[in-house]
Amino acid sequence: MIGRIPITDISPVVDCGQWPAKAVAGETFQVSATVFREGHDAVAAGVVLTAPDGQRGRLRPMRELAPGTDRWGLDVSLPAEGDWLFRVEAWSDPIATWLHDAEIKIPRGMDTDLMCEEGARLFERAAKAVRQADCPGNGNGNGHPAAHTRTGRTTTSSATKPATKPSTKPSTNGNGNGDSTCGHRAALLAVAATLRDEQLDPRARLSIAQLPETAALLEAHPLRALVTRARPRTIRVDRRRALYGSWYEFFPRSEGAVVNESGVSKSGNFQTAAKRLPAIAKMGFDVVYLPPIHPIGHTFRKGRNNTLSPEPDEPGSPWAIGSDDGGHDAIHPDLGTIEDFAEFTARTRELGMEVALDFALQCSPDHPWVKEHPEWFTIRADGTIAYAENPPKKYQDIYPVNFDKDPEGIYTEVRRVLRHWMDHGVRIFRVDNPHTKPVGFWERLLADIHATDPDVIFLAEAFTRPAMLQTLAKVGFHQSYTYFTWKNSKYDVETYLSELAGETSYFLRPNVFVNTPDILHEYLQHGGNPAFRIRAVLAALASPTWGVYSGYELGENVPVRPGSEEYLDSEKYQYKPRDWVEAERAGWSLAPFITHLNLFRRAHPALQELRNLRFHRVDQPDMVCFSKRLPGAYDPATRRHGLGDVVLAVVNLDPHHTHEAAVELDMPALGLDWNAEFVVDDELSGESYRWRQNNYVRLDPHIQPAHIFTVRAAPR
């Protein structure tokens, strides 16, 4: 049943509260709700937060987001991890209602004494309501309500000032309790007394209620009527890495691999792969993602370019997990031992990075599960186990697990494997094809892990339909792959990135990879070096988490055949040693450019947020402009936030041609007045420009495909 003061459309709420909304420690997000009432009396709203330990905070004021919309909001930042509760409260504000009417009537000489007496009585009621718990400074009060609005009308302020200015400042001994409470009560009573002082002109009496000091008193001690409380909603606050990070995917077996003149191959291992880690850290990456590191089956092993006739020394696909050497809890003998893996992860941590491990719930025909638990698989009419298919593609080297055959047995084993790797230091898992397993399985498993290890992060590699991708995010996945690799036009870039930063942002955190071992988009195949730079700029600046698959910095762009998104000589089926040093020495590596982007991201907290992405108008179909802003401190005098950290990017999406355009900026989104002039410093070229709302740009993709600006106020 609806409350006395209706509170509707509360946000953030995921599927009517079935699952918690998401945030990370220190992230800024908005709590909002629609609040209104019958008639024209003023209403106000606020938010009460309850910490994971059950400690309830003070009431925090909400503000009407746009006059006349009845939509109220409050920007919130939660400092600690855990499950927080928030509750929206709304109430009728008798003093704001009275003040609105008094500001109309008293200047016109209408019912002046009556209006002053009614106001005095309201302030007396406010003084009477002051309790010890209401005092600022003791942390458990209900102070600081919102500003007030009148339904359908705007409150204005009289400029008339009193002949004398009775003090409304409370006396205090600085400890925020007893004496302060008495001072606040006395100040409210002083307002009431002034309103009754018939020796003063009514307009002067009214002005005491209009003083900023009086408004501050009412913020600390609101007079609330018809208080209505919505039921609490949950916000799950994760560690910062769940939102922000730069990922680098590479195959340990390729680092240090040897391919001799006769074509015979020898695998690299964790020790040789560790030699690559300093270069990855130098590029500014935070997470090193490893494809499966487990033994690989021999039956139907795939060879070079996905053939069914491998050479004896060809390694096979890491996703064909399991052999006589073990299954999901084992390490491929060519890579080393569990001790070698521990040294690799320790070295990664020393360099300020984390290891993310692939978690692929599938088997080769040689996996121990196939022998020990044949009931976990689908048996075809001819008695054989069904291998994976995505017609016309066939994966004869992989058996999918049938999660309906023995749900409890499969769940118990999968949980054991997961905790095995957690016990060996892995705190991030990239889950392969989660959309081919029951959603309820993931909801149960992720809740199980969260109950004991809330710092463990799961990334869903869910290239699937939106309903499945989004539901996986709702049930507990901390991050999700996205459709970004297929979004290359201006329309697609603007609409899809806006969706990720907006309507899905409270449950789906994007991890925007520019390429993967399976996805080499035609944009990269045909766009040359400019295309690689353009996509890196979009991913690194528009999303707080982005990633690259190794070889991206070398511009690898040759498909196995025209029209395919698979790489020629794919690393999934063979060793692929690369000469990183020679590429940088020759000057054609993108490593310096990627380093620049990642270090820029670290230096600008605005780029580490998701929901602050704003697109601006560009009159050219091949160019986009977007910004991210983290406002500065709030100034009570101006009632505005400082400019803060502002990044503005203009990107030419056409990797082949130069384009010119006019950029029209949404100035408030940048924290600037509409007529402001400001300075932009280009992070790529080092040049600076004076900009206004409307500006001219020209971008040659072969020189610099983008402007990456930081914004600062123009010197006088």
* Angle, in degrees to the nearest 10, between helices 178-195 and 112-129: 170
Q: How many CB atoms lie within 10 A of CB 217?
A: 26
The token duo for 680 is 């932009």
Determine contact, residues 509/473, Cβ cutoff 8 Å: yes
Compute the C-alpha angle 235/237/243, nearest 5°: 120
SS3 204: helix
Question: Minimal CA–CA distance to 191: which of 220, 171, 169?
Answer: 169
Beta-strand pair 457-461/479-480: parallel
Beta-bridged to residue 688, according to DSSP, are 681
Question: Minimal CA–CA distance to 95: which of 202, 214, 178?
Answer: 214
Q: How many CB atoms lie within 10 A of CB 384?
A: 11
The token duo for 105 is 């009537």
The token duo for 503 is 């309507």
Determine contact, residues 289/545, Cβ cutoff 8 Å: no
DSSP label of 14: B
The token duo for 672 is 């600037």
Task: Find where tokens 């020394």 sit.
Answer: 313
Determine contact, residues 445/407, Cβ cutoff 8 Å: no
Task: Tally the residues of the chain.
Answer: 716
HSE-up (13 A, CA, CB side) for residue 353: 27
Backbone angles phi, psi at 248, to 5 degrees: -130, 120
Torsion over CA: 373, 378, 383, 386 (sign): negative
Beta-bridged to residue 21, according to DSSP, are 235
One DSSP character per residue, 267-322 reads: ---HHHHHTTHHHHHHTT--EEEE---S-B--TT--BGGGBSS--TT----TTSB-
Q: Could you tell me the end-to-end alpha-carbon distance of the chain, in angstroms, rounded to an integer?
A: 58
> What are the catalytic residues?
432, 461
